[in-house]
Amino acid sequence: MINFKPVDENVTYLLLVRHGATDANEQRPYILQGDAIDLNLSENGRRQAEAVGNFLAKYPITAVYASTMKRSIETAETIARHHSLSIEEHSELKEADVGAWEGLDWGTIMEQYPEAHARFFENPAENPYLEGESYNDVHNRAAPKINELIERHRGEAFVVVAHNVVNRSLLAPILGIDMRYAKGIAQANTGINILKNDGKETKIVTLNSFFHLEGHEF
């Protein structure tokens, strides 16, 4: 078990978690679920939230944050309950605005918007979801809030429950990956990323851990 009580009081641990699954996540082919589709967790998603909550219950977590979206809030509340904490919501952490592609699957998008689809996949860092945000856009609104929370909890361990694109955009620079390739960073529903900040830099301790989920496909 990772020791979240470091000798150096400047060390902060951020447990960055993706929300549990919704019906949109489980639909096949799955549809894009950005900031306009605000679903609660599915039955499976609630089980995932309980699993990650039980797993994190043994750690000395001092605060839990969420985006303003239902799937994130519900997951965060499940985690916070084990620590007798209330959650704090921040709109900067909400999922990407996927614009005209909200609610569509990738096959339909490629068929109906071939040029915009090609541009996005060529470089999502600069080329946004049609009428929506790019990966750089998401990073530029989410990263300052994350940095603020890290400073607020200097020497502590805290949780942020966010979203697929948000997490990818935050993790790519830390991993040394060009933002145009951030789309390839896997983020399972309730996958846990542990980030360690020593006051000078942030490093990844664990990426997309989901050993708390039974039957999850690798």
Q: Which residues are catalytic?
A: 19, 95
8 A C-beta contact, residue 143 and residue 202: no
**Separation of alpha carbons 212 and 217, rounded Å:** 12
8 A C-beta contact, residue 130 and residue 113: yes
What is the radius of gyration, based on Cα positions, of the chain? Answer: 17
Our measurement of the distance from residue 13's CA atom to the centroid of its chain's CA atoms, rounded to an integer in Å, reads 16
Of 38, 36, 86, 46, residue with least CA distance to 62: 86
Of 102, 135, 103, 137, residue with least CA distance to 120: 135
